[in-house]
Each structure stands twice: as structure tokens, then as C-alpha cells.
Structure 1
Amino acid sequence: MSRPTYAPGSAGPVGRVVLPLVPLGLFAALGAMLAYAWKAPCRFGGAWNDGTQQFLNFCYTDIYPLWWNEKLDQGLAPYFGHDVEYPVGIGSLMWVIQKIVSGLSEPGVWFYDLTVIVMAVSLIVGVLVMASLSGMQGRPWDAAWYALAPALILTAFINWDLLCGALSLGAFLAWARRRHFLAGVLLGLAIATKFYPLVFFGPLFLLALRTRKFQAFFWMLGGTVITWVVVNLPFMLLAFKGWKRFYTFSSERGADWGSLWYFFQMKQWPFLGDPSRLDILGIASFGVICVAVAVLALAAPTRPRLMQLAFLVLAAFMVTNKVWSPQYVLWLVPFAVLARPNWKPLLLWQVAECWYFFAIWLYLVGIQPGNETLGISDGTYFTAVWGRALTIAIMAAFVVRDILRPEHDVIRKGGVDDPTGGVFDGADDRFVLRVASSPARGEIAPNSA
């Protein structure tokens, strides 16, 4: 049976898909409740106040201690009264919740609870938006991965990442529906919340170059720049020192737990383990992979889908980053599923991410003096570091295979092109790199374009 076609900007195959938004929304709510329950030993048992027990109970979160670390308990305003190591989207949310909980008993706990409510709403919105995107691909139930992925339940409320995830997915949905300026506005808000969505400009530009759909790209770019400037400019003008803290902190930060660079440094590898080369190595390795993705995007016989390229660049950014916190899995789940909804490699990756989640806390216990027998060794911990890197590489290899051999791409069954690609869907190729083949005797090889 042939796969149904899509109308431009539709939410799925014409006349065929009814998005299961209610059950998926309930799944997302269930995922949020399970994530909250996972933090019970800390939230209700007091383990947050014990540097060992919060790790042994696997319930650590950044949100609770930041009530004190960011001087919110003293009534200081983020950026203006105290330098904050987060972009203004997160700092502004901190500020609003600070105003609400100040004066309450146990304001640090209330700060955590209200932040969790915002993140839970973000998860529900993100799942519903992903359902619209996966519905366009004829597979709306794929969004259940984002609602109930095991690693999501473990990491959902460590930090503010779910808010950025909802904004990023919203930007791609707006793009798919050809509302390019709105896509830029949402992407600008996402970048003002977490910086990683900046990498999505690469896939959008490459596909715009291949199809010559530059007008849509520049409308999106304009919306992003205007929104980011509007959101950031007041802080830049009135509290520049506090505003720039995020950027200086990111540039000065060393190799942190979870990153491959941390492994190289701890094992004292020559060259790769040199801390003085960390920034250059990180940027260079990410750049090399991006060049490879660019060649793939422009030279593949069939134009890659937008979600395939978005997954590849985001995975490259994570693997080459000098910081790779446990909750970064939240960035990749929706794009991994939208790029290649095959349960076997996804499940293998989830197992690796869950193993890393438990390993990092046991490792942090093990490096505390006197707690060596309670934790795990370096060797055991680094199996988890490499496990998630290798499983992401496996998923990326399958995505590359699907790009080069699109008959293996389940989204493209029945002749579908790029249902979430917006203006790229069904567009003609206008710029394609071609490697000249060896000419037959007496022939002249054509110039590559």
C-alpha cells in the first residue's frame, strides 16, 4: 500500500492522521510525575542536604542548590545583583520564581517545585509539538519516546533543559508549516535559554543552499536575531557584567565530567589530554564533523531530510563538547527519534544513557575521601562515558546510511520526501556537489557543480 502524500504545512498525511494529542499529553504528564517521584528521596527525605546521600539516592538536581548559589535566597536579582552562569531565559525564570516564593517557608524547596512545574509543562508542550512533527511523518506515536524515555525520567528535573527543548521543537514545527519568521522567534528564544540550538542554523542553511530557498532561511534568521537581541539587550545595557558571565564561564570552563576530553585528561593522553589545547581541540573536532555533514548534505544523491541533519549536528556538538552533563540526553531524544524512529538503536542508546546516569553519581561518591567503597572506580565510570558516545555514533552511522541509501529510511517509504522540511519538501535541487567519475575512453569527465 502506497504511503499517503502530504499537503504543504499539514500535520500529517492528508485525511489520514488524527494526532493522538490527549493520550500523548497524558503520557508526558506521567513522565513528569515519574521524574518528580524519582527525586522523592531528596525532595521529601532531605538527601539534598547530604553531599553523599543525594548521589547514592540518584536524586541530585542543580535547581535546589542554585537557590543559594545564585544568591536568590538573599533577594539579589539575577545579573543585576549577582552574576549568573546561565543565559537570560533561565535567569529571568529564576527571577520570576524568586519573587513568587520569597517570604514562604522553605523557599528553596518551593523554588524547586515551581521550577519543576514549569519544566513539566515544557515537557508536555514539547511532546505535543513533537507529535505534530512526527504526525507529519505519518508516525505521531513516535512522540511517546520523548514522553516516557527512561533517561528522560531520570534526568528531566536536573536543570532547565526541557524549556529550551519545547522552544526548539516549536521552531521546527513553525518551519514545517512555513511560518519562517515565527520559527526564527522561537529559535531566538531557545538560544536565549540554552545556547545549543545555535547549531540548527547549519542544517537549515545547507538545505537552503541546496534548494536555493534562501528567502525562507533569511526570514527565519531575521526573526532569530531580532528576538535574541530584544531579549538580551536590556541585560547587556543595564547589567553587562552579570550578563556576560555565562559567556565567560563557558569559555573558561575546563573539561567536565561526562565529556570525552575529561577521559583524555584523566588518562593523560598525549596531545588530546592537554588542557591548554582543550578549546582548540573541541572547536576543531566539531568543525571537522560539521564539514563532513556539509559535504553529505550537498553531495548525497537524494537530499537529506532536515531532521536527519539536525540530529547529526546536535550529536556532533554533544560528543565533541567539553561539557556533557547527564541531562543533555534531553536535547537529543526528539531529534534522534524524528531522524530515525527505529527502536533497537534508540533502546541501546537509552540503556547507555541510563548506565551513565547511575555511573556519574557513584563516581562522584567514589572520589570523596573515605567513600571509595561506596562508589565506582575510574575504569568503570569511563565505560559509561564511552558507552553513550559509541551508541550515539551508531545511531549517527545509521542516519548517514539512510541518507546515502534512502530506501532504508522508514520516513521516505512510498516516495515521501521531507514532510517536516517545510519549503524543502519536494523542492528541486539547485546546488549539488558531484564527484567526477572516471570517464570512459574518449570521454571527458564533466565538471562537478
Structure 2
Amino acid sequence: MSAPSTTTDSRRLRAAAGRARLAVVLPVSLLATLATMVVSYLGKAECGGPPFDRFGRSAHFPVGHGGTQWMPCYSDIMYLWVGRDINNHVFPYIHGGIGADGKLFGGVVEYPVLSGLLMYFGASGAHTDSDFLLHSAILLAPFGLAITVLLAVVARWHVLWWAATPPLILYSFHNWELPVAFTVVLAVAVMAWGSSISPRTGERRIPLLPTASLTSVILAVGFCLKLYPGLFILPLAVYVLLHDRARRDWRGGFAVLAVGTLTVVAIQVPFMVAGFDGWKASLSFQGKRKSDVDTNSIWYWGLRHFFGGQTPAYNSAVGVLSPIMILAAFALAVYLGYRVHRAGGAYPWIGVSASMLAAFILFHKVHSPQYTLWILPFFVLLRVRWPVIAAYLIGDLILDSTIFRLFGIYVSHSPMKWWVITGVNVGVWIQVALLAMLIVVFVRSPLREPLASVGRRPTAPDREAISA
């Protein structure tokens, strides 16, 4: 009886050591998150302050007090205060539409419906763009802190890639990215909790299909915030389909897809019924968007030069090539995941999801710098080599430090500065090269610990000791 006791004692010691590490990691990472978000807010608030015009727009927007800040203070949050009836506190989508000139009116915003609701709530009680930024920051900050808690639990010190790097300073309150990133991290955490082994029974805490179905609901909610989490329902369904090597679970796979689809429909239908034209207008706006200077995409900074500029032929080519490349890359990611499964591993639905996201960011006609907050949690969850992560963050920092200054130069018709246009190109192409590589790397990257060990059943001696 000594062997089971020794093994069990060893497991208990490892568990105690893990809890001790978490007790240190959690407060440190939360303090880092809080500090970065405070700095983020203070940096963005530089674009506000009195005097304000009759719409509540600060005279300092979008360049700040003299435009000499260490970071660009421009944010989409403050920008959207005027022009979408947010400042007039109009409930989104219900009363508006899109004009012949492509401009939205009547409370319609160019975001999925749940993000529109967050904007509406953020504007409650606000009378200026500075108020709107503050209220939105208060609304968004808990999501950033919650992401830190979940990542600390599943990846320990690697959470600092999220909590203590520049993107959280640059983008926490640039746009409404934190809630959607939270849905992705929560989905991973739910799957991990469901597959964890109960010390009492030695089996999963929650059966696979209910866990995956709940995860599909969470990802569908994310779809209604910023679309991309909905992509991850597909690899999740494939994971359920292939989890039992003895047979294909077709019913389970289709059930995961169906649950996600029904959740999206349930969220969208009330807006469609209450104001179909307004609901449709947000989709039409995105469909009409061009890949131009404010999208930082491979198309504008690459393909455009082969068409002599942003010509109708260029726009048509992007409209065809972008979805084809995205779908082809999605198929590649799913296939690469299947190869990992055939080699003897579980289907890597998290790695495949990250690969699909990298492809979406790379080939979509719109690419904004704040999308780094989308991909950053996957650097925490997956064992990507640190030089790759560092290079991506450096490229992102270079891009963010120059692209918003480039916009200011174009708007003011000022002389172009060589370091601005060079920085934009360097930042864009660093990210392009890394995203192309990550489409493959993500799928092959193992999970971080302790996430990788979740679901491992105790050995036979452990089970005997537990039952005894």
C-alpha cells in the first residue's frame, strides 16, 4: 500500500505548489492589468477635455493637446461619439438606416448588435466625448481584469504576455475589444473546467457535449460582439466529432453547430423585428467598406501598387480575393488540425481557432491595429516561441506609433514625414509575415501548463488511493 500513498502524496504536493504559484501570479497580474489600463485611459483622455462644441466634441480631438503625446490619443470610442447618434442617446439599430452616400443614421453603428448595446450603455449620462470615454472605460475594464484572472488560472506566469505588454496600454479603450476577447478566453476556460477530472470519481466533471454546447453559446455571444469568435464553433464541433477514436460523433458535432447558430439567431431576431432596416444597415456598411489607408491590410499596402492605386479594378479584386483566401486558409487550418489528430493527439481546436483568427486578420480587407487584443490571448494559451511573440508586439508597437500620425498628416494635408510612412510599412509587413507563419504554427503549438494537463486521468494507483 506504500506505492499508492507515495503517488497520491506527490500529486497533492504538486497541486499545493500550483495553488501557491497561482496565489502569487494572480495579484501580480491583476495589478499589472490595472496599471496598464489606467495608463491606457490617461493616454486616450488626452484627446478630450474642454472646450466642447454643441455636440459635446472636444476641441482637442483627435490630436490631443498639441499632438506631442508619447502615444497617439486617438480612439474609435471618442470618434464615434458624433455621427452615429450616440451623443443623442438613440437606441441603436431600431430607427435608422444607411443613406445612398453610405453614411449611417438614426442610431445605427457599424458593429454587431451587442457591441452597439455596449456603446449605448456607455453613453448613458454622458454629455461629451470625454464623458463617453470615461463611462466606456468603466464598462470595459472589468472584462480586461476577468481575462487576466482566467489566463492566470490556465497559464500561470504566461498571463503577463497579456497583462504587462504594450497592447493593453494601446488598445484597452481604443475600441470595444475587451468584451469579445473575454468570450474567447471564457470559452476555453469552460471547456477546461468541464474536462477536468473530479478527484471523487476520476472522471470528467461535466460530459463533453453539454460542455461543448455551453462553449458554443459563449462563442455565439462573441459573434454578436465582433464576429470572429463565431468562427471557432467549427473547430469546436470537429473536436466533438473526433473525440472518440472508435467512432465519429456526428450528432454531437452537428449539435454544437446548431446550438451556436440558434444562439446567434435568438440574439439577432429582436433587432431584426424591431428595426430591420437599421439592423441590415450595419451589415450593408461593412459590405461596402473598401480596403483603404485606414485598414492597414495586405491589400492596401501590397496589392494596391499592382493596380496603380485604389482603382475600381483594385476594389473588385480585393472583393473577390479576400473571401477566397480567408476560406482557403480556414480549410487549411482545419486540415492541419486533423493531421495532428491522426498523428495520435486530440483535435487541437484551440490551435485551429487561433490559426483561423490569424488567417482572418491577414486576409480580411479591414485590419485595425487593435486586433492585436484578439490574438494576444492565444500567445498566452499556446506554447508559441517567445521571439515570435516579441516580434509581433514590436511590429504592432511600430504600427500603432505611426499609423494614427499618418492619418493626421493626410487629414491636415501636411508634408509627409519619412519615419511615419516607413514605420507604417515596417509594422504592417512584420505582422503580415508573422500572421502567415502563425497560420501553421498555432495548430502545431501545444497548450501551456497547467491547461495542457487538464483532463488527464489519475493512474490506477491514484484511483485506488482515492477510493480508499
TM over 0.5: yes
Alpha-carbon shift at residue 132 of structure 1 (Å):
2.7
Q: 1:190 to 1:271 in 2, by over 3 A?
A: same
| Pairwise CA distance, 1:288 | 1.8
Look up the SS of the partner of 2:411 in the other structure: coil
Q: 1:74 to 1:113 in 2, by over 3 A?
A: same
CA distance in 2, matches of 1:319, 1:94: 27
Q: How far did 1:321 drift?
A: 0.9
Match of residue 162 from structure 2: 146
Q: Deviations over 1:391-435 (max 9, x none)?
A: 3334455445x45xxxxx5748xxx99546x7xx79xxxxxxxxx
Distance of aligned partners of 1:153 and 1:52 in 2 relative to their CA distance in 1, 3 Å threshold:
closer
> Would you say the 8 A contact 1:151–1:329 is kept in 2?
yes
Change (3 A) 1:232 1:244: same
Please report how far the alpha carbon of residue 195 of structure 1 lies from its aligned counterpart in structure 2 after TM superposition: 0.6
Q: Percent identity?
A: 24
1:224 aligns with 2:263: no
2:216 alignment partner AA: G
Give the equivalent residue in structure 1 for 2:465: none
**What is the match of residue 201 of structure 1?**
233
CA contact (8 A) 1:286 1:320 kept: yes
Can you give the 5+ residue segments of structure 1 that lack an aligned partner in the other structure? 6-12, 135-139, 404-408, 427-449
User: Match for residue 321 of structure 2?
Assistant: 281
Q: 1:349 Cα shift? A: 1.0
Q: Which stretch of the first structure deviates more once superposed, 159-168 or 241-250?
A: 241-250
Counterpart of 1:101 in 2: which secondary structure?
Answer: coil
Does the residue aligned with 2:225 lie in a helix, a strand or coil? coil
Equivalence for 2:27: 22
CA contact (8 A) 1:345 1:394 kept: no
Gaps of 5+ in 2: 1-6, 8-13, 52-56, 96-105, 195-210, 458-468
The residue type equivalent to 1:37 in the other structure is L
The residue that corresponds to 1:107 in the other structure is 128
Q: Which residue of 1 aligns with 2:330?
A: 290
Distance 1:48 1:327, change over 3 A: farther
Give, in angstroms, the shift of residue 270 of structure 1.
8.2
1:159 Cα shift?
Answer: 0.5
Counterpart position of 1:254: 290
Change beyond 3 A, Cα 1:355–1:302: farther
1:78-121 deviations in Å (ceiling 9; x for gaps): 112322211111111222233x315xxx4332221111112111
Cα deviation, residue 220, structure 1: 3.8
Task: Measure, in 2, the Cα distance between the counterparts of 1:370 and 1:271.
Answer: 19
Shift of 1:62: 0.9
**Partners in 1 of 2:92 and 2:280 — Cα distance?**
12
Q: What CA distance in whole angstroms lies between the structure 1 residues aligned with 2:363 and 2:68?
A: 29
Q: C-alpha deviations, 1:220-243, integer Å up to 9, x for none?
A: 434423332222211010111111
2:10 aligned residue: none
* Residue 190 (1) aligns with residue 226 (2): no
Cα pair distance change 1:157/1:271, threshold 3 Å: closer
Out of 386, 392, 398, the residue aligned to residue 355 of structure 1 is 398
Q: What TM-score results when the alignment is normalised by the length of structure 2?
A: 0.76
Q: Give 1:48 deviation, angstroms.
A: 5.7
Q: Render the CA deviation track for 1:50-69: whole Å, top value 9, x for unaligned.
A: 56624764010111121222
Q: Is the 8 A contact 1:56 1:365 kept in 2?
A: no
Shift of residue 368 of structure 1?
3.5
Q: CA deviation at 1:326?
A: 1.0
Task: Say if 2:325 is the partner of 1:325.
Answer: no
The alpha-carbon deviation at position 189 of structure 1 amounts to 1.3
Separation in structure 2 between the aligned mates of residue 84 and residue 224 of structure 1, nearest angstrom: 24
Separation in structure 2 between the aligned mates of residue 234 and residue 418 of structure 1, nearest angstrom: 40
Equivalent in 41, 44, 48 of residue 39 of structure 1? 44
> Does the Cα contact within 8 Å between 2:61 and 2:74 map onto a contact in 1?
no
Partner of 1:335: 378
When the two chains are superposed, the root-mean-square deviation of aligned CA atoms in Å is: 3.1
**3-state SS of paired residue (1:42):** coil
Q: Which amino acid aligns with 1:41?
A: E
| TM-score between both structures, scaled by the size of structure 1 | 0.79
1:38–1:86: structure 2 CA closer, same or farther, 3 Å change rule?
Answer: same
2:80 to 66, 75, 81: 66
State the partner residue of 1:86.
111
- Closer, same or farther: CA 235–329 of 1 in aligned 2, 3 Å: same
The question of 1:119 aligning with 2:143 is answered no
Which of these residues, 372, 379, 389, is aligned with residue 415 of structure 2?
372
The Cα offsets for residues 127-150 of structure 1, whole Å up to 9 and x where unpaired, read as: 11222332xxxxx11112111221
